[in-house]
Structure 1
C-alpha cells in the first residue's frame, strides 16, 4: 500500500520523506489556507519536492470551471493529479479530463455508488472519507470494503485512496482490505511506529548493555 501525506506544509513533507514513508501528497483548499505562503508558489515547491502524485483541488462547481482550473493546475508540475468533488458536474469534468490525459482524484466520496460512478467516469483515484463517516456514527471502513469489492468485480483501474484517516487503526484496516493508498496526516505517521512493548524492550536492552562487560 502506498502512503500519501495529507498536508500542504513543506516541512512536514520533508520530514516524512526522511522516514521513507511518502509516495505522494494530497492537499485541499483548507490545508493551503493554514499556510502563510502563496498557495501556487507552495504547490510548485511541493511538486518539486515529491516525485509521486500531488493532488491539487479545484474550487469550481461546474464542469466547465473544473476543466478550466484543471488545465491550469497541471501546469504547476508534471505530477499533479486534479482533485474533483463528487458531483454530477464533477463526473462530467472527470470524463473530459480523462480524454485529455489528465489524472483525477474524486474527493468527498461517502457511498459505494458514488465510487462506482467515479470509476465509470474514468477517475484515476477515488477518495472515501472514512473518518468523517466514523464521526457520523457510521462504519467508514465498511465503505472501503464495499468499494474494493465493486472495483474487483469489474476490474476498474481506479485506485482506492483511503482519506480522512484519524488513527493507525484506519491504516491497518485499509491495508488488510487491500486499498491502494492511504493518505495520512503528519501526526499519525509518528504513531505508526509506537508500541509500548517496543519501548520496554529497548529500555531493557540498553540497561543490559550498560551492565555488560566492556573489557
Structure 2
C-alpha cells in the first residue's frame, strides 16, 4: 500500500519524506489556506520535496473552469495530480484532463457507483472518504471493498485512494479491504509505529543493558 500524507505543511512533508515512508501528497483548499502562502508556491515546493503524485484541487465547479484551472495546475510540475470533485462536470473534466496525459484524483466519493463512473472517466485515483461515512454510521470499509471488487472485475487501472482517514485502525482496515493508497495526516502516519509493548520491551532492554554495563 502506498502512503500519501494529507497536508500542505512543507516542514511535515519534508520530515516524512526523509523517512522514505511517503509516496505522495494530497492537499485541498482548506489545507492550503492554513499554510498562509500563495497556492501555486505551496504546490511547487511540495512537488520539489516529493517526487510522487501531489494532488492540487481546483476551486471551479463548472467544466470550463475546471479545465482552465486544471491545466494551469498541471503546468506547475510534472507530478501534479489535478483534484476534481465527483460531479458530472468533474467527471467530464476528468475525461478531458486524463486525455491530456494529466494525473487526476477524483475526490468526494461516497458510493461504488460514483467510483465506477470515475474509473470510466479515466481517473488516476478515486478518493472514497472513509471518516465522513463513519460520521453518518455507514461502513467506509465496505465501500472500499465494493470498489475493489468492481475495479478487479473490469480491470480498471484507477487506484483506490482511501481518504478522510483518522486513525491507525482506518489504515489497517483500508489495507485489508484492498485500497491501493491511504492518505492521512502526519500524526496518523507516525502513530503507525506506536505500540505499548514495543515501548515496554525497549525500556526493559535498555535497563538490562545498563545493569550489565553493555556498550556498543
Superposition TM-score tier, normalisation by shorter sequence? over 0.9
* Structure 1 position 87 matched with structure 2 position 87: yes
Partner of 2:185 in structure 1?
185
Query: Deviation per CA, 1:79-105, whole angstroms, max 9, x where unpaired?
Result: 000001000111111111122111100
SS at match of 2:5: strand
Deviation at 1:213, TM superposition (A): 4.6
Partner of 2:8 in structure 1?
8
d(CA) in 2 for partners of 1:188 and 1:214?
Answer: 35
Runs of 4+ in 1 over 4 A off after TM superposition: none
TM-score of the superposed pair, with normalisation by structure 1 = 0.97
Distance 1:157 1:84, change over 3 A: same
Distance 1:108 1:212, change over 3 A: same
SS at match of 2:3: strand
Partner of 1:32 in structure 2?
32
Partner of 1:54 in structure 2?
54
Partner of 1:75 in structure 2?
75
SS at match of 1:52: coil
Q: How many residues align?
A: 215
d(CA) in 2 for partners of 1:26 and 1:96?
Answer: 21
Deviation at 1:144, TM superposition (A): 0.5
d(CA) in 2 for partners of 1:27 and 1:98?
Answer: 19
SS at match of 2:35: coil
Consecutive unaligned residues in structure 2, runs of 5 or more: none
d(CA) in 2 for partners of 1:205 and 1:62?
Answer: 60
SS at match of 2:55: strand
Partner of 1:127 in structure 2?
127
SS at match of 1:126: strand
Q: Cα RMSD over matched residues?
A: 1.1
d(CA) in 1 for partners of 2:32 and 2:213?
Answer: 55
Consecutive unaligned residues in structure 1, runs of 5 or more: none
d(CA) in 1 for partners of 2:144 and 2:50?
Answer: 26
Deviation at 1:178, TM superposition (A): 2.2
Deviation at 1:151, TM superposition (A): 0.4
TM-score of the superposed pair, with normalisation by structure 2 = 0.97
d(CA) in 1 for partners of 2:137 and 2:181?
Answer: 24
Query: Quick check: 2:82–2:104 contact (8 Å CA) kept in 1?
Result: yes
Deviation at 1:176, TM superposition (A): 1.4
